[in-house]
Structure 1
Amino acid sequence: FPSRVSISSNATQYFQSVSRRLYRIFSHTYFHHPEVFKEFEDNSYLCHRFVYFALHFCLIPKSLLIIPDIG
């Protein structure tokens, strides 16, 4: 299924926007629901892994990151 492996050039233009929107969800949860964020992050490290991924592929500038790096 080659169509599932390749990504069209039209789709790549949305990666940064989607990444910023996902990070906003993490930020909202961190600041407005800290207990939920901490419990979830202690088990999954999803935000930490997402931030690493986004920085590695230059999807979000470091200047926009507002959640402190706890780990």
Structure 2
Amino acid sequence: MALTLEMKFNLENGKTLTLSVSEPKENITPAEVVTAMQTIIDQDVFHSEGYAIIGINQARIVERNVSELELV
């Protein structure tokens, strides 16, 4: 099972930017995610198509199960 933390941000142009983190720490809390997201906004490091991040939209943990197929 693979876990990914998806953090979605609002951009200046009205669009959404998603940053994904593979294998986030176990039992990460919503408060920790909000703190991380706010730090990303405050540091103004990421832009998309020249537009800055202006707010937090949402965050979620995505769980994915992968089953390999044995090919003949």
Could you state the TM-score of these two structures normalised by the residue count of structure 2? 0.30
The structure that is strand-richer by fraction is 2
Could you state the TM-score of these two structures normalised by the residue count of structure 1? 0.30
The structure that is helix-richer by fraction is 1
Larger Rg: 2
Q: Which has the higher contact order (CA 8 A, sep 6+)?
A: 2
